[in-house]
Amino acid sequence: MNVRLQPIYDIAELCAQKGVTQAVICPGSRCAPLTLALVRHGDITVRTFSDERSAAFIATGIAHETQAPALLLCTSGSAAYNFAPAIAEAYFQQLPLIVFTADRPKEWIDQHDGQTIRQPGIFGSHVKKSFTLPEDYGHPDAVWYLHRTVNEAINLANEEPKGPVHINVPLREPLYPVGSEKIAYSNNLKVIHAHPTQLSISEKEISRLSKKINGYSKILVVAGQDDFNDDLVKALEKFSNVVGVPVVGEMLSNLHASQSTIRHADVFLGACSDDVKKSLQPELLITTGKSIVSKNTKLFLRHFKPKEHWHIQNGGITADTFQSLTEVIKTEPVSFFKALSHAEKENNFSSQKKENFKRVWEAEEHRTVHSFQSFFHDNIFSELQIVKELIAQLPPRCNLHLANSMSVRYASMIGLEAGKKGVRVYCNRGTSGIDGCTSTAVGHALCNETPNFLITGDMAFFYDRNAFWHNYPLPNLHVLLLNNHGGTIFNMIDGPDNLPEKMPYFVTGQKLSAKHLCQEFGFDYLPVDSNKKIKNTLKDFFEFDSHTKILETESTHQQNKEAFLQLKQTIKKGYETNIRLERN
């Protein structure tokens, strides 16, 4: 037994006993003792990735897919800084990561020693807490401190709202076992269990909230990004039907299994008049989940403010996204909507007024769906068209990953129908960056056998190409790459599109093709550049035959902008036709 390094080896055993059984490590020398302890532990699955930035996003995907903390480990120096984007994403997405960074002893900091930077607290306020372990374990209290720290860190990562924690580990040389030395794990380690708090809503609170709900005739629920929860889908659907409340749920809210979900609010709120918006204005807004993608929904609710805004969450800081927050109700959303569905009801006249408000929202949804059908019936080849075709043909059960920028916006505009209730939707909307979208999808795909589909743009895809730089097969990952050679977002949003500096300072042109990447990594390459080719190409794309597949569609910024403007014009015509009919 190596007395000096035994406490470090025991970190692996502590993690395993506390349910941390998935580890992502990046090669390095300073982290060698902990790397060996993890690799040789029979209950921990360890994968290694050379690019720290990509590795950290892969770990977030693993944590999200397994719904358990993932361990992340790197050597000392700048390697740790490369974890930062993914750690920020995990913090705002509330994903549990246990981040270990190996470090030099403190006496060598600022002494021009190799791979030595100031690592304690390196991730700032984007971790729930940062810890630094002792450098020597000659005294029993130092070992006790290590055990207590690892327990506390894992418990904190799992505590709602979940999130990343950082453990900095200073290590002295020698770092490697000597000769035939074996790594063993101590018995009877100190394990501290933390039990989750059950946040229930009291009968008194139910009565108070029920009376308030009965006092409003225009109530709107808006659901932000969230994982699929069948209990929440059912509770919201019942609340909507019993109380008479429209529920807005864009694609990332994972509420598409409900027939009553308003899926296209972003589209019609961007097209309708202020008079229509006034008719849609809620008196009481109830929100749940995290961020929403729709800028039009945000602007609508900030301008046409409710009298009251309640947000339902089980803990943590509450965002006042719509600048109207009046109450934070700390309970599980499922509990809230179930309780309020069974609360005392108002008279029939009040119920009818609520139903009328719900029908106004449903009418806008139906109008938009009709306009969509007209638009996609006969349309030019575009990214929007192929995203629509792919979503329509998704298998009954799969994961759909959306990269940021236009990919998530296209998909959110199109939406998922109730028939696709087995589809789970994911996107890095914690920080909304493009830097790790592919790596996060890879993390999910490594931990399940479910088909995983990624829709991504060329800037996000090539930025994160090291997501594939490893030795693990990905037979269940298929990627739709929307390659317009520079990104479309700055051709769409107001401002940069009219600037003479648009090219190259906002739209950065690039000439890359996924064909060469596929050759390099041994993936199947499926190109498509016209509507005629979509059907047969998608048929091959949806066949899972043990190969990673990349379907690349090449188009121009102008093609995609024209298609986008045509869709907006089609929606607008729907309103103009309706106005003429009302006047006649």
State the 10-residue block means of pLDDT for the chain, 584 residues long. 88 98 97 97 97 98 98 96 98 98 92 89 97 95 97 97 97 87 92 86 92 95 97 96 95 96 95 95 98 96 98 93 96 95 69 93 94 76 92 96 95 93 97 96 97 97 97 97 82 68 74 95 94 90 96 88 84 68 45
Q: Which CATH class is domain 203-364?
A: alpha beta
* 63 closest CA partner among 440, 465, 466: 440
Give the integer Cα–Cα distance in Å for 245 and 350. 12
Q: What per-residue confidence (pLDDT) applies to 121?
A: 96
User: Which amino acid is residue 181, in one-letter code?
Assistant: E
Ranges for all domains in the chain classified under CATH 3.40.50.970? 6-170, 379-567
Q: What per-residue confidence (pLDDT) applies to 505?
A: 65
Interval 508-556: pLDDT, tens: 778 899 999 999 999 999 999 888 888 899 999 999 999 999 999 998 8
User: Which amino acid is residue 318, in one-letter code?
Assistant: T
Please name every residue paired with 425 in a beta bridge, in sequence order, or none if there are none: 400
Q: What per-residue confidence (pLDDT) applies to 345?
A: 61
User: Which amino acid is residue 115, in one-letter code?
Assistant: Q
Q: What per-residue confidence (pLDDT) applies to 92?
A: 97
Ranges for all domains in the chain classified under CATH 3.40.50.1220? 203-364
Give the integer Cα–Cα distance in Å for 353 and 21. 53
* 83 closest CA partner among 43, 31, 133, 45: 31
Q: What per-residue confidence (pLDDT) applies to 584?
A: 44
Pairing of strands 165-170, 219-223: unpaired
Residues of the chain by 3-state class (helix, strand, coil), percent to 5: 45, 15, 40
CATH topology of domain 6-170: Rossmann fold (3.40.50)
Q: What per-residue confidence (pLDDT) applies to 507?
A: 75
First-to-last CA distance in the chain? 91
Give the integer Cα–Cα distance in Å for 406 and 490. 10
Helix (H) or strand (E) holding 576, with range, is helix 557-583
Q: What per-residue confidence (pLDDT) applies to 580?
A: 47
Q: What per-residue confidence (pLDDT) applies to 113?
A: 87
- pTM score, two decimals? 0.94
The three state secondary structure string of 372-406 is HHHHHHCCCCCHHHHHHHHHHCCCCCEEEEECCCH
Q: Which residues contact 443 (CB under 8 A, 6 or more apart)?
A: 57, 58, 59, 60, 61, 62, 63, 64, 65, 70
Q: What per-residue confidence (pLDDT) applies to 581?
A: 46
Interval 449-507: pLDDT, tens: 999 999 999 999 999 999 999 999 999 999 999 999 887 666 666 666 677 777 776 77
Superfamily assignment of 379-567 in CATH?
Thiamin diphosphate (ThDP)-binding fold, Pyr/PP domains (3.40.50.970)
Q: Dihedral of CA 60/66/69/71: which sign?
A: negative
- What the block records as the tokens of 208 is 């108070």
